[in-house]
Amino acid sequence: MENTKEKLRAGEVALGGWIMMGHPSIAEIMAGEGFDWLCVDMEHTDNTIRDFHHIALALKGTGCDLLARLPACNPSMAKLVLDAGASGIIVPSVNTPEEADRAVKMARFPPEGTRGTALCRASDFGRNFPEYFNEHNGKSLVVVMIEHIQAVEHVEAILATPGVDAALIGPYDLSASMELPGQLDHAHVLTAQQAILTACKAAGVPAGIHVVHVNSDEIERRIGQGYRFIACGLDTEFIMYGCRTMLKGR
């Protein structure tokens, strides 16, 4: 695994799927469709570390990287998902460079970070501990979410934080923080998104955005704008889209 980080380092596009429902079969089906990465949402769902562990088992051998969107910048939760085999973490609501630094350090072993060690699943329960420990800091992916107007104001300093591998725009939360909830096409929201994208290009940090609705043309448009780390839809959205398409006109 770790294909996503390699793609981003090479300037390529990495397309991911977003998992709201914590069933391993859903993740397995999505992985089989060719996503570079899947992210289990643990912020806005009831997904637990046990659910994440089961999904990690389902994705073993698929070649699809598994990430976790944490409920907060929480070192304890970061440690649990990484121990379970996560290829990296997506940290919500990173609004300052101090929070970005904390996000990076909680995903790295000492001396670069503060993550604790254990004979866990990620190291094959200790059988592969030396290699895992020595390679982890270079392989794990840390994505910070820029989803508040305060973060836009500090975006250059956030992106300058060593160890930040990508910055993902949360379009709905960003619009809400601007008192324009859900108005993703509002001029002020688009201006804020462009400011983030421009800052990412200047800093050499891959920019990401979530294309929530099922729309392949929108993905191509975002790639054309320069986004490289793109979350494509939601498992729930895919189900609703399939149902509506099947029942169209009935």
Q: Which residues are catalytic?
A: 44
Taking the C-alpha atoms of 169, 171, 177 and 182 in order, what is their torsion angle to the nearest 10 degrees?
180
| Cβ atoms within 10 Å of 93's Cβ, excluding its own | 18
